[in-house]
Amino acid sequence: MYQTNYNWTLDSIMEIYNKPLLDLVFQAASVHREHHDPNKIQVSTLLSVKTGGCSEDCAYCPQAARYFTDIETNDLLSVDQVRVAAERAKKLGSSRLCMGAAWRSVKDNADFDHVLDLVKTVYDLDMEVCCTLGMVSEQQAQKLADAGLYAYNHNLDSSEEFYKEIISTRGYEDRLKTLENVRKANMTICSGGIIGMGESVEDRCQMLLTLAQLNPQPESVPINALVAVEGTPLEEQESVEIWEMIRMVATTRIVMPKTTVRLSAGRTNMTKEGQVFCFMAGASSIFAGDKLLTTPNPDIFEDLALFEKIGITVQQPYEKHAKPNQDQNRTYDESDQVKWSRPDHVIEANEKYKALAKEKRAELNHSKPS
């Protein structure tokens, strides 16, 4: 049996990534079959519960307030809106609802209490509940776990070195600290990254090495292909070739044999055959939904039709890990305040797009009738 290895080296991961493609896929498929049912895919529906207006400067993200992008911003969705979306997702085969908020970090306020209610609402529908809300303290993670949260999504996104070229408003160590807090609260970890931002193969493999060295390894690893959105500093990045996606998926599968490898953003640029090739290479999950958070995603009925055609069934909730217990009686240490870092480096491209957005907003204000 191919066992989990926590002692990978960068060289050994790069060697795997750079194998001839068919050898790589064959190896990944063999590992996949030892640990997973190859004809089963887990489906997570994404729901943006608070959209846009984020204070961070992630160069890839259309939700960063400082860039001028064409997205509809939204305050927190209501409990009823989330319940309806979750029920629909469940009916259409999703075992998990993943709720995203465009926050830098969670604040101990009424909005967070509302998110806890959203978590309880979805938990009561017997679905796995996931949130991605930015950085969380140990106590906030515990509150989410006690509300019934099953997974927390918090991506490393790239290597520590390349991260500095993409985000200047927080540090890599903040991301790792949040993952530690999630683990302490006994939730499952969903953490992966984006390819196609201009990073090198070494950066991709370094990110996988960092994830694979977490003990235990993350239960889910989303692999996103950059969706280059107009108005963001990465708007001109070319879309990644399917071969790179296959290599990344296959390498992730080999390096983290038990994890759920999720084919995430970028599926609208992939053919159906390309996606099936990724399933062959070890992808065992997709993000579904009319949109991802703000950008387009394939239609769920097309996904389901493809599954039927190739004999894939969908995974049921809690097949991999037991349903978490809620705890309504715990008391929390309210003095637990984290100071997240503010690195002092400046990313020129991000500054340029911030200035461009300012100009565009000023132009719009000028052209408005008084």
Neighbours of 212 (CB within 10 A): 23
Dihedral pair phi/psi, residue 33, rounded to 5°? -70, -20
| C-alpha dihedral (115, 121, 127, 131), degrees to nearest 10 | 0
**Least distance to ligand DTB, CB of residue 146, Å:** 22
With binding defined as CB under 6 A, does residue 265 bind ligand SAM? yes
With binding defined as CB under 6 A, does residue 71 bind ligand SAM? no
- CA distances to 80, 139, 201 from 100, rounded to whole Å, are 16, 19, 28
Query: Rounded CA gap, 91 and 83, in Å?
Result: 12
**Least distance to ligand SF4, CB of residue 63, Å:** 4
Q: Which residues are marked as active site?
A: 54, 58, 61, 98, 130, 190, 262
Query: Rounded CA gap, 201 and 14, in Å?
Result: 8
Neighbours of 213 (CB within 10 A): 11
With binding defined as CB under 6 A, does residue 269 bind ligand DTB? no
The closest of 164, 167, 161 to 54, measured between CA atoms, is 167
Helix (H) or strand (E) run with residue 128 in it: strand 128-132
With binding defined as CB under 6 A, does residue 227 bind ligand DTB? yes
With binding defined as CB under 6 A, does residue 294 bind ligand SF4? no
Per-residue tokens: 273: 């055959």
**Least distance to ligand SAM, CB of residue 133, Å:** 6
Nearest to ligand SAM of 134, 324 (CB atom): 134
- Region of 169-177, 235-243, 287-295, 333-341 interacting with ligand DTB (CB under 6 A): 287-295
**Least distance to ligand SAM, CB of residue 132, Å:** 4
Query: Rounded CA gap, 121 and 90, in Å?
Result: 13
DSSP string, 305-319: HHHHHHT-EEPPTTS
Amino acid identity at 27: Q
**Least distance to ligand SF4, CB of residue 89, Å:** 21
Binding residues for ligand SAM restricted to 141-180, rule: CB under 6 A: 154-155, 157
Question: Site map for ligand SF4, 52-71, x if CB under 6 A?
Answer: --x-x-x--x-xx-------
Question: Contact residues for ligand DTB (CB under 6 A)?
Answer: 46, 62, 98, 100, 132, 153, 155, 192, 222, 224, 227, 264-265, 287, 292-295
Q: List residues binding ligand SAM (CB under 6 A).
A: 60-61, 63, 100, 102-103, 132, 134, 154-155, 157, 194, 224, 226-227, 229, 265, 293
